[in-house]
């Protein structure tokens, strides 16, 4: 009589498999005796797992948010180079292009890669990147304006790579958990931007502004050093928290390494056969998440970071000068985005209908002309080409706020709904959605060039 052993697929059903079989396949398993054992998931004591996923969301977008919100510092450092007025466009397209390139690699190799090792590697590289940019603030005299741009753009490329591997790993893992944990990651991403925006404003306020002028690069050196150093500390903390996460009972319950078929080949073949089926089932959500972030990146921050207060110079208050007005717009956007990502945590605000989510994403296009009709600075290119129809700082900030809330809300709805449609294909659904989120960001960053050019004609 042959011996048998227990095999644990993702569904937490146990199957008796004959050890004398050389290979296991899907039909073999369906023919075996199925032993149903109800195992309730362990409790998430003190919401530790939720908080760690939240922190991983923070770390995932921290690099991007740090670099785009340090616009005043980088602008002052790039003066004298061809990039001082359009560096945000280059930051966007290089970061998103790198992200898409490496996320494509991650998607095609996820069935053979060690996801845990990939995540740890990406966090180490991210920490190194922040260490490098932090140290660079103490040796700025070694760089020409163009040289510092090339240094910064290299780091932006590396951050795109690390974000790709983090997204692939985290969204693939969190899709195996209940939807609230996906919402935790999305909210963490929102908090990353919010915290960085607050830090930027406090840093700017800490600089002596008695003359109400935009600080020079020298004025900002100390505050920027602290700004980047804080980001480095957060990345290190998220790395430590991940080592804690993989030892927690709830994580082991959902993502235990033995929740797979015995034969790795079976796991791979099932995943390969599921790609097209998965895509077809969630294609409207894929469109929604891609289009949401395409619209956002096409104008934020490449154009919005050049919108100035409409107040005359002789009547401006402190917050209407560029050194605070621009960071304030980042703060308002990131607060709205964080709020939008929080809303799906309320059950009555959750929408799962794919058609409704896709329609909501399309409706956001209306924000593009509204923002272009605000006070976009033309830089050294002379008079603005578009009429100034929104001649109010308050209305401009309200538009930015609603733009951000819709970004966080619709994006989170799509990311949460996908894995719930897929059942046993949850991990693949999460990976698909995270991939096309980056596709949307990349396409949006490409469209940011013509949209910015419209304001300079």
- The reply to whether 186 and 205 lie within a common domain is yes
Shared-domain flag, residues 368 and 405? yes
Q: Return the bridge partners of 18, or none.
A: 4
Model confidence band, residue 271 (pLDDT cutoffs 50, 70, 90): low
Q: How confident is the model at residue 63 (pLDDT cuts 50, 70, 90)?
A: confident
452 or 288, higher pLDDT: 288
Mean pLDDT (the chain) is: 82
| Phi/psi at 7 (5° precision) | -125, 135
Contact 35, 234 (CB under 8 A): no
Residues 24, 163 within the same domain: no
pLDDT of 122 strictly over 60: yes
Predicted confidence at residue 255, as pLDDT, reads 81
Three-state secondary-structure class, residue 1: coil
Q: What percent of the chain has pLDDT over 70?
A: 81
- Angle of helix 179-206 relative to helix 322-342, nearest 10 degrees, comes to 170
Q: In the prediction, which pLDDT does 380 show?
A: 55
Whether residues 90 and 26 share a domain: the answer is no
pLDDT of residue 333 exceeding 90, the answer is yes
Could you tell me which of 344, 347, 398 has the C-alpha nearest to residue 370?
Answer: 398
What is each CA distance from 209 to 77, 206, 225, in whole angstroms? 19, 8, 18
Q: What is the mean pLDDT of residues 67-85?
A: 82
Q: Is residue 411 part of a domain?
A: yes
Residue 273, domain member (yes or no): no
261 inside domain: no
Would you say residue 156 lies in a domain? yes
Residue 271 domain-assigned (yes or no) = no
Output the pLDDT for position 259.
Answer: 40
Q: Positive or negative CA dihedral for 392, 398, 401, 403?
A: negative
Reported pTM = 0.76
pLDDT digits (tens, 9 = 90+) for 362-395: 999 999 999 999 999 876 555 667 888 999 999 9
Residue 311 maps to a domain: yes
State the pLDDT confidence band at 356, using cuts at 50, 70 and 90: very high
Residue 416 sits in the same domain as residue 433: yes
Confidence of residue 219 (pLDDT cuts 50, 70, 90): low
- Confidence band (pLDDT; 50, 70, 90) for 71? confident
User: Vertex 347, ends 346 and 352: CA angle to 5°?
Assistant: 115
**Average pLDDT score over residue span 6-23:** 42
* pLDDT at res. 47: 93
Taking residues 222-235, report their average pLDDT: 85
User: Does residue 92 share a domain with residue 12?
Assistant: no
| Co-location of 387 and 404 in the same domain | yes
| 301 prior amide bond cis, ω within 30 | yes
Same domain (yes/no): 90, 11: no
The reply to whether 414 falls in a domain is yes
Q: Read off the pLDDT of residues 32-52 as tens digits, 9 standing for 90 and up.
A: 444 444 578 889 989 999 999
Q: Report the distance separating Cα 374 and Cα 392, nearest Å.
A: 8
Query: Residue 13 — pLDDT band, cuts 50, 70, 90?
Result: very low
Domain CATH for 153: 1.20.1250.20
Q: Which structure tokens are listed for 264?
A: 């790795």
Which residue range is the domain that position 232 belongs to?
Answer: 45-256+280-454
Residues 255-276: what's their mean pLDDT?
51
How many domains are contained in the chain? 2
Does 180 lie in the same domain as 107?
A: yes
Instruction: State mean pLDDT over 394-413.
Output: 97
Residue 82: per-residue pLDDT: 87
Q: How far is CA 81 from the centre of its chain?
A: 29
Residues 237 and 379 in one domain: yes
pLDDT band at 430, cuts 50/70/90?
A: confident
Residue 272 placed within a domain: no
Same-domain check for residues 9 and 145: no
- Cα separations in angstroms, 126 against 137, 172, 226: 17, 20, 17
Same domain, 32 and 85: no
* % of residues, the chain, pLDDT over 90: 44
Q: Which of 103-107, 170-174, 265-269, 409-413 has the highest mean pLDDT?
A: 409-413
């Amino acid at each position: 009589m042959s011996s048998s052993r227990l095999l644990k697929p993702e569904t937490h059903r146990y199957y008796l498999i004959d050890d004398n079989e050389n290979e296991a396949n899907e039909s073999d398993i369906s023919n075996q005796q199925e032993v149903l054992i109800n195992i309730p998931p362990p409790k998430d004591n003190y919401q530790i797992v939720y908080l760690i996923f939240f922190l991983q969301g923070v770390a995932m977008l921290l690099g991007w948010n740090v670099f785009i919100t340090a616009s005043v510092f980088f602008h002052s450092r790039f003066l004298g180079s061809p990039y001082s007025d359009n560096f945000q466009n280059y930051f966007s397209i290089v970061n998103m292009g790198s992200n898409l390139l490496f996320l494509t690699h991650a998607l095609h190799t996820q069935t053979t890669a060690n996801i845990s090792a990939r995540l740890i590697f990406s966090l180490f590289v991210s920490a190194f990147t922040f260490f490098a940019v932090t140290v660079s603030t103490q040796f700025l005299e070694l760089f020409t304006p163009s040289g510092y741009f090339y240094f910064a753009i290299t780091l932006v490329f590396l951050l795109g790579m690390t974000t790709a591997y983090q997204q692939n790993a985290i969204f693939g893992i969190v899709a195996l958990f209940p939807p609230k944990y996906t919402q935790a990651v999305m909210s963490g991403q929102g908090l990353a931007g919010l915290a960085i925006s607050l830090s930027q404003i406090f840093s700017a306020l800490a600089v002596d502004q008695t003359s109400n002028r935009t600080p020079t690069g020298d004025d900002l050196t100390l505050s920027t050093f602290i700004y980047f150093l804080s980001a480095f500390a957060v990345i290190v903390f998220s790395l430590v928290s991940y080592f804690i996460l993989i030892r927690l009972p709830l994580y082991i319950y959902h993502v235990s390494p033995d929740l797979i078929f015995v034969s790795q080949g079976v796991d791979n073949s099932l995943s390969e056969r599921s790609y097209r089926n998965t895509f077809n089932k969630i294609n409207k959500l894929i469109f929604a998440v891609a289009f949401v972030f395409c619209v956002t990146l096409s104008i934020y921050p490449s154009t919005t970071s050049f919108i100035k207060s409409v107040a005359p110079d002789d009547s401006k208050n402190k917050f209407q000068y560029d050194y605070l007005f621009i960071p304030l717009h980042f703060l308002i956007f990131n607060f709205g985005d964080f709020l939008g990502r929080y809303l799906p945590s309320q059950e009555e605000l959750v929408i799962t209908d794919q058609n409704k989510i896709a329609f909501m994403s399309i409706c956001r296009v209306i924000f593009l002309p509204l923002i272009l009709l605000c006070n976009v600075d033309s830089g050294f290119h002379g008079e603005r080409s578009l009429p100034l129809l929104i001649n109010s700082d308050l209305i401009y900030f309200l538009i930015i706020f609603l733009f951000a809330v819709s970004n966080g809300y619709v994006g989170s709805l799509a990311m949460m709904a996908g894995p719930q449609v897929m059942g046993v294909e949850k991990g693949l659904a999460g990976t698909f959605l995270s991939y096309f989120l980056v596709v949307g960001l990349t396409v949006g960053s490409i469209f940011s060039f013509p949209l910015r050019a419209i304001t300079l004609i």
